[in-house]
Amino acid sequence: MNENVVWHHATVTRKRRENMNSHRSVILWFTGLSNSGKSTIAHATEEQLHTRGCRTFVFDGDNVRHGLCADLGFSREDRDENIRRVGEMSKLFVEAGIIALTAFISPFRGDRNRVRNLVQEGDFLEIFCKCPLEVCEQRDVKGHYKKARLGEIKEFTGISSPYEEPIHPDLVLTTDTLSVEQCVDKVVDLLRQRGVINITANS
């Protein structure tokens, strides 16, 4: 980093923003194979939190690659950079007092741990959307898995590139057996247990 770049400490702090919002800010990091339900559950969780008066934003893997990470491909190096950028952006949203929900395959533990280490302990909640590969393939209306098996898509997670399951996730959602509503309830319960939201506030 350039030695002439100096961090400016704002007078409006994260704590003041959280007090105004009546909830803590946090990163909800949804990880799992393609078609495991990450985006669906993240957006459904945001809808539930929004109705409770929470300030939220979803970083969706596909959406981010239309703008912030439009210049990146799917090599190991580009995947690392994709997650680095999203992690830094999520950190800023935490400072803004917002509940940041991210839906990314983020297949490598090292990348996820680097994001965890960007923020204070308890600010990063890893949510593993656990779903058998065969079920994810059955859900794949875009045909990405089929193309990957035919060699038409290189370095596709679960087929030609590995997925490293979380070792100690904060929450495991078995998305092949639970409904979206049940998954959302479990996420909201986690936020209540960790003191992020008051379950009765603004409901």
Residues marked as catalytic: 106
Q: Residue 101 burial (CB < 10 Å; 0-12/13-18/19+)?
A: buried
CB atoms within 10 A of CB 124: 24
For residue 12, give the 3-state DSSP assignment: coil
CB-CB contact of 31 with 166 (8 Å)? yes
CB within 8 A of 62, min separation 6: which ones?
A: 39
